[in-house]
Amino acid sequence: MGKLTNRGRADVYEEYDARKLGEPIKPVEDKWKLVPSFLKVKGLVKQHVDSFNYFVNVDIKKIVQANEKVLSDVSPTFYLKYTNVYVGKPNVEEGFDTIKFTTPHECRLRDLNYSAPIIVDVEYTRGTQRVVKKDVIIGRMPIMLRSSHCVLTGKSEHELAKMNECPHDPGGYFVVRGQERVILIQEQLSRNRMIVEDDRKGGIQCQVTSSTHDKKSRTNIIAKNGKYYMKHNTFQDDLPIVIVFKAMGMVSDQEIVQMIGTEEEVLERFAPSLEECLKNNIFTQLQALKFLGAKLRQKRFFSAASKAKSPMDEVRELLATTILAHVPVKSFNFKLKATYMALMIRRVIQAQKNSKLVDDRDYYGNKRLELAGSLLSLMFEDLFKRFNFELKTIADKNIPKIKAAQFDIVLHMRQDQIANGLAHAISTGNWTIKRFKMERQGVTQVLSRLSYISALGMMTRVNSQFEKSRKVSGPRSLQPSQWGMLCPSDTPEGEACGLVKNLALMTHITTEVEEGPIVRLAYNVGVEDVSLLGGDEINGPQVYMVFLNGNILGVCRDYVRLVRVFRMMRRGGYISGFISIYPQHQHSCVYISSDGGRLCRPYIIVENGRPLVHQRHIDELVQGLRNFEDFLNDGLIEYLDVNEENDSYIALTEDQIELNVTTHLEIEAFTLLGVCAGLVPYPHHNQSPRNTYQCAMGKQAMGTIGYNQRNRIDTLLYNLVYPQAPMVKSRTIELTNFDKLPAGQNATVAVMSYSGYDIEDALILNKASIDRGYGRCLVYRNSKCTMKRYANQTFDRILGPLVDADTKKPIWRHDILDVDGIAAPGEMVQDRQTLVNKSMPTVSASRPKEPVQPEYRDVPVSYKGTVPSYIEKVMVSSNTEESFLIKLLLRQTRRPEIGDKFSSRHGQKGVTGLIVEQEDMPFNDKGICPDMIMNPHGFPSRMTVGKLIELLAGKAGLMEGKFHYGTAFGGSKVKDVCEELVKHGFNYQGKDFFYSGITGEPLQAYIYSGPVYYQKLKHMVQDKMHARSRGPRAVLTRQPTEGRSREGGLRLGEMERDCLIGYGASMMLVERLMVSSDAFQVDVCNICGLLAYSGWCHSCQSSASVSTINIPYACKLLFQELQSMNIVPRLTLTNYCE
Amino acid sequence: MDNLEESKSRFILNEYGVANVNATDYPGGFNCEEPWSHSKFEKKFSIEIVRYNKTEMEFDLIGVHAAIANAFRRVLLSEVPSMAIEKVKIFNNTSLIQDEVLAHRLGLIPLRADPRMFEYKADPTADPTEQDTLEFELKIKCKWNSSSHKDATHPDDLYRNHNVYSKHLKWMPIGGQADIFKPDQVGPVFEDILINKMRPGHEMDLRLLAVKGLGKDHAKFSPVATASYRLLPEITLTKDVEGEMAERLQKCFSPGVIDVEDNGHGRKKAKVKDARYDSCSRNVFRYDDLKDSVKMARVKDHYIFTIESVGALPPDVLFIEALKVLKKKCTYFLDELNENSNNK
């Protein structure tokens, strides 16, 4: 510690110069270079990887240790003890006992799980023998890509290429059954913290959601009729608080009151509660327990254990373990828990007095993010407990039996339970934790591989637990405390608006830090244990209560020193950098947090009005002598979490630093945006919703997905033939490597109106540009089939092409098949042609006595789609069930056509309205004619000034031969850009003299023109166009089917029908609703009014007055359905002409 | 120049737009007192070649109407035929580039072949003949370079044939084509157009069929990189501009447009030297004190025409070809007109 202060002093003296003090602080140049070095250390999805690493390396051991013993009820000598657990390297089992190390890409292609064995060392008894066994596999753990156990970590670009992996792929997801799945970050209210809030009735309540490894419970302190009660779901009624205190052994009223506070006001408010206890005649702990025992909620299922206990014992047990479960109670010493509860009451009383003390639920300091690691650990613990329980039942069952071989528990350990449990949870996203009665859907999602950015964007997505359908504004709106932690732009529109968020660029999510050393440090700095102190001392005016992760650690008189020492130790690297400490003066508390899931972000430390990071540090960084860790270790930069950030004074720029006030300096302002919003050039010039729209659209843009895109066989993959890096870049683009995996092209845009086909944001494209490859894209789809083996020893087979007997050539459907019966690569497939000529045995279930030649039925895999595709490649492999797996990759190349959707990076989307020949396009003095024409009406209402600047900067960049920067809150300045344009003989406003391509005369207006980065979005007409004259009908109603995929009809809906009714077009109605839909001829008997069949009325037994009419089939169906429920509809017919 | 004359003959470049844009000099327009006369046209009309080389030329087209100049431009862009690869028969392509994309890339390679020597292919499905098709072959295989140094890392040292250039296209004469054309008359215009990149094991075996086509069918058939014109700029100083302002004025225009010379009294004075190469960037309007002292205009019937040939034919030939196309169209139109009137 001495060393630490010395260093600090030395630096101060070096700087301390009376004259210098007045000078403005020179901004450190290239301070932004800290950001790439941060990302180099942390990576873009480090949160996921860190959290998973923590789970696999630390948490899993803790879980196994907590459940280390399996005992049996029947044999006291039997035990099974886990002595060690670890996760191996990812591999696959290929047949019996052949195990092969695998790579993620192999798993993707072969529909396998990328998982590693979970290996334990055990010690157990076999008979009377003690056996130690090492390396027993108990299950398989899906491995997160780029985590510590992944084969990809630490590999060079070349090695990654060998493994068919893209070096820019962020990892952080799982490969389960060949599918890439992400465990989304889940946002939750933080556990074990008091939250004071308004309840529904207008009162104040204090709520704590306690959570420990095996219990989860919620405790409320409420105020009702001037008295205070505790609410908990194990009790039927609200419990008078004083009785609870008495039940915890705090029998003296004075003791209770002193704990809560002896201020006049507190006394006044608390007196009625004391009185109530008195009225109930409760004076001793026993009486209180009895009173509470009567209020216990009746359990629905009696288990064997609970029967033995009396209600009083049960209450005591509950108070100790379930109520406020996170506050430890050792041998029924309730002192700490009572102090905690007293503080809850105190908070409620204070909040009743001063409404400012009511907490904000949406405040981000009260939130914790749950990541893959913590979710998996919940799941694993549950599965492991079940695994052990099952072992126990097996032991209970088998030990009494006398067998030749002694009972060996290890032989009964089945791998598949834990393996399937984890894999199933990840592949479905259903997180069912039995012990918490937790059931959550949609925890995982398929990683969207539409574009590189969509994959990255998914990794930073934060999902909140709030219900989407509820119309609440609080949790959806942007909280000031989200500054720098969550991207203010990137959120979807519509129902999930504000509930789904994205992390900002530099956000880090903490993993748990061990509490032990912190506790020791705190006690050394003068924190006193509460259990030794009385209520009066705890609530003294100068006394600050110290909390560690929501638990009372003690009290402290000199909180300033405590906070200072903690921060110093943190900066010196003596305690973890992710421990946060801050005083809360309204509560008179100091909160220390070391739990996982807090959001934090690095800041430059400012001391004596000077940032500690100097130019020389940055120079060293550039030279490679320093990395980000060094900045942390030297105490120049530190991580602040939301709560501590709230307690700091952070300057945005150097000139905003105030002496003796500012504590920190922002590293770079653009990092407050996320990955997706970072693509937008000049976002600070745009209207904010436009940036939000771009965040959504960037994920639909096609381009490149990764360097390994050609090796992938995905269900759907869009590629651009000639993707380009944007002319106007941003720092974020470089940091995320978007310029290496781009999704879009720089189009020369002329902002003018043309032809009228450009209204409503439609775009005009130059045909020559399209001819030369602009907007050309590739669409890949796959087609899969497996060849199964059945129980009766029959199996699927593939036959070669069927040859026409006359022509001796394969029939048309099999035209593209190779001799092996699988379509050949390079062939063009048309609608309904066969890709794999597979056939299946007709009988597969029953087992014949002797093997007979099975009969086969054709089940070809055929191509569907009006537009033909080419076969890019065919993969033949095997999957886990050891059946053949055949995957075909189909490809289409598409050139832009009218109706295809394009978008710039400013939330300005539009469809192609017209494709114009080059000679009809306007051209300027230099002979340049634009690739695209955009209507100027797109600007005034959208206010996307950023796009105007992008055009200008792009144009100047073209002339200079360099990329301009449109980084948020910075970037190339318009003035400089204009000056560059002038230098190259262009108009300073970016407007050029254009000639009409049609008349050849000059245009009256000067045209604003230059390159703008345009994205081609995945919505293309070819996938949407649809028409039907006749086609398939639904079986039941005989009405046309619905939807494009079923070649369905276009519905004339209710509103359209109303229009026709209003217009009086009755014949048209009949035609639309019946004739063209489900007209049906029925015979009706005029006597009984029932339906007759084939001219014969079955009810009247006559054909005398049967007539034929046309009615909708659905109507006939209705009649029959009514009849089936004993309602008889009768038709009365009159002649149309009468 | 009086106002009427000016509005007839000049476009004025104002700060916020161009004046006199709409043509009024068509017969019957108020600016056109007399019908079009050939003699007058002959007197006014001239072509002056300013710059000429194998691929590019600049010439002045003076005394024509915008419609005529534009017609040449449009015809050059899309209706003068040229040869381009239209069909690619792929026997083998194990390289990374997809078949369609490869075919597209090959199509865009400019070919050196005189389209006048060929005929259009009437039926695209018909077999190629020596009159309508040029055939090329691209057969290349990438291999490891066995003689490379052990520590070599550069692709150029490691592999053979890993970059496929247009020079690898091999002309396969059909019929008597070998007698008609010399080998240097047929082939890609540039040798170094990168077609594909390959790695050992990759192989391409293609037959390429080039046919004659028009730019309006596909841009690859366009014989020009671009053909375009601009109007002759005209700059007049309405006031004397002296001293620092003169230098500032000079900077507002392209180099060489404004001359600053000593007016004899030690003061510098601006003078218009040559307005021809001004880029018409109108940057004078940035300065309030200068913008009233200059008048920028463009001469209405003086077209500075630029033709950038793709390389198959020299630009002057292309222009003449364009002329022929236009003439043919006119005769066709005339014939149609006559036929119509005859029918009546």
| Residues of A forming the active site | 761
Q: Return the CATH superfamily for domain A192-298+309-325.
A: RNA polymerase Rpb2, domain 2 (3.90.1110.10)
If DSSP codes are grouped into helix, strand and coil, which group holds residue A510?
Answer: coil
Burial classification of residue A421, based on how many CB atoms lie within 10 Å of its CB (0-12 exposed, 13-18 middle, 19 or more buried): buried
C-alpha A401/C-alpha A919 separation (Å) is 94
- Reported ipTM: the value is 0.94
Per-residue model confidence (pLDDT) at position A621 = 85
Per-residue model confidence (pLDDT) at position A23 = 61
> Could you say which DSSP state residue A297 is in?
P
CATH class of the region A514-671? alpha beta
pLDDT tens digits, one per residue of A790-799:
877 788 888 8
Q: What pLDDT band is residue A1138 in, cutting at 50, 70 and 90?
A: low
Which string of DSSP letters, residue by residue, matches A1037-1062? T-PBPBSGGGTPBPP--HHHHHHHHH
Q: What pLDDT band is residue A1108 in, cutting at 50, 70 and 90?
A: very high
User: What is the residue range of B150's domain?
Assistant: 83-221
Out of B22, B228, B283, name the one closest to residue A987 (CB).
B283
C-alpha A821/C-alpha A835 separation (Å) is 8
Between residues B243 and B33, the one the model is more confident about = B243
Mean of the pLDDT values across residues A158-184? 91
For residue B133, give the CATH number of its domain: 2.170.120.12
C-alpha B279/C-alpha B255 separation (Å) is 10
The answer to whether A905 and A950 have CB atoms below 8 angstroms apart is yes
Cα of B68 to nearest chain A Cα, Å: 9
Instruction: Answer whether residue B30 is part of any domain.
Output: no
Instruction: Answer whether residue B204 is part of any domain.
Output: yes
Average pLDDT value over all residues in chain B: 89
**Planar angle of CA A810, A811, A813, nearest 5 degrees:** 115
Instruction: Answer whether residue B185 is part of any domain.
Output: yes
pLDDT tens digits, one per residue of A191-249:
888 888 888 777 888 888 888 877 888 888 888 888 888 888 888 888 888 888 888 88
Q: Is A1003 in contact with B22 (Cβ distance < 8 A)?
A: no
The encoded tokens of residue B332 equal: 């066709």
Rounded percentage of chain B residues whose pLDDT exceeds 70: 96
Q: Is B98 in contact with A985 (Cβ distance < 8 A)?
A: no
Q: Is A927 in contact with B228 (Cβ distance < 8 A)?
A: yes
Q: What pLDDT band is residue B101 in, cutting at 50, 70 and 90?
A: very high
Using DSSP bridges, classify how beta strands B187-188 and B224-237 pair: parallel, antiparallel or unpaired.
Answer: unpaired
Between residues B51 and A356, the one the model is more confident about = B51
Out of B93, B219, B298, name the one closest to residue A771 (CB).
B219
Cα of B295 to nearest chain A Cα, Å: 16
Q: Is B18 in contact with A993 (Cβ distance < 8 A)?
A: yes
Using DSSP bridges, classify how beta strands A580-584 and A589-593 pair: parallel, antiparallel or unpaired.
Answer: antiparallel
Q: Is B96 in contact with A997 (Cβ distance < 8 A)?
A: no
pLDDT tens digits, one per residue of A356-397:
888 888 888 888 999 999 899 989 998 998 999 988 888 888
Q: Is A923 in contact with B228 (Cβ distance < 8 A)?
A: yes
Cα of A917 to nearest chain B Cα, Å: 7
> Could you say which DSSP state residue A357 is in?
G
Please report, for chain B, how many H helices and E strands are present, in that order: 8, 18
Per-residue model confidence (pLDDT) at position A6 = 43
Other C-beta atoms closer than 10 Å to the C-beta of B295 total: 16
The answer to whether A349 and A341 have CB atoms below 8 angstroms apart is no
> Long-range contacts for B241-247 (Cβ within 8 Å, ≥24 apart)?
B241/B269, B241/B270, B241/B290, B241/B293, B242/B267, B242/B268, B242/B269, B242/B270, B243/B267, B243/B268, B245/B270, B245/B289, B245/B290, B246/B270
Mean of the pLDDT values across residues A422-438? 87
Alpha-carbon separation of residue B59 from A592, A924, A1001, B303 (angstroms): 81, 17, 18, 8
Arch. (CATH architecture) of A45-187+369-463? Alpha-Beta Complex (3.90)
The encoded tokens of residue A173 equal: 């997801």
pLDDT tens digits, one per residue of B183-216:
888 999 999 999 999 999 999 999 999 999 999 9
Per-residue model confidence (pLDDT) at position A13 = 46
Q: What pLDDT band is residue A12 in, cutting at 50, 70 and 90?
A: very low
Number of domains making up chain B: 1
Give the H or E element holding residue A538. Answer: helix A535-538
Mean of the pLDDT values across residues A841-864? 77
C-alpha A188/C-alpha A660 separation (Å) is 36
* Domain A780-843+854-894: assigned CATH number: 2.40.50.150
Q: Where are the beta strands (DSSP E) in A895-1006?
A: 901-904, 909-916, 923-924, 932-934, 964-965, 991-992, 994-995
Choose, out of B277, B282, B300, B304, the residue to mutate when testing the contact with A (most A CBs < 10 Å): B282
Per-residue model confidence (pLDDT) at position A845 = 66
Instruction: Answer whether residue B340 is part of any domain.
Output: no
Arch. (CATH architecture) of A677-702+717-776+897-1016? Beta Barrel (2.40)
Burial A1048-1063 (b: 16+ CB within 10 A, else e): bbeebeeeeeeebeee
> If you measure CA to CA, which chain A residue comes closest to B79?
A919
Instruction: Answer whether residue B36 is part of any domain.
Output: no
Mean of the pLDDT values across residues A1017-1025? 91
Mean of the pLDDT values across residues A29-58? 84
If DSSP codes are grouped into helix, strand and coil, which group holds residue A86?
Answer: strand
**Residues of chain B positioned with their CB less than 8 A from the CB of A919:** 73-74, 77-78, 216
Other C-beta atoms closer than 10 Å to the C-beta of A804 total: 12
Instruction: Answer whether residue B198 is part of any domain.
Output: yes
Which string of DSSP letters, residue by residue, matches B11-63? EEE-SSSEES-S---STTSTT--S---HHHHHHH-EEEEEEE-SSEEEEEEES
Instruction: Answer whether residue B136 is part of any domain.
Output: yes
Q: Which amino acid is at A1013?
A: Y
Interface of A with B (CB under 8 A): 710, 721, 767-768, 771-773, 776, 778, 826, 870, 872, 891, 893, 917-919, 923, 925-927, 929, 982, 985-988, 993, 995, 997-1006
The answer to whether A181 and A465 have CB atoms below 8 angstroms apart is no
> If you measure CA to CA, which chain A residue comes closest to B307?
A927
- Compute φ and ψ for A701, nearest 5 degrees: -75, 140
The answer to whether A672 and A601 have CB atoms below 8 angstroms apart is no
**Residues of chain B positioned with their CB less than 8 A from the CB of A923:** 228
> If you measure CA to CA, which chain A residue comes closest to B233?
A925
The domain ranges of chain A are: 45-187+369-463, 192-298+309-325, 514-671, 677-702+717-776+897-1016, 780-843+854-894, 1044-1125
Which has the closest alpha carbon to A1104: A1120, A1085, A1123? A1085
- Answer yes or no: CATH 3.90.1800.10 is held by domain A1044-1125: yes
Per-residue model confidence (pLDDT) at position B27 = 57
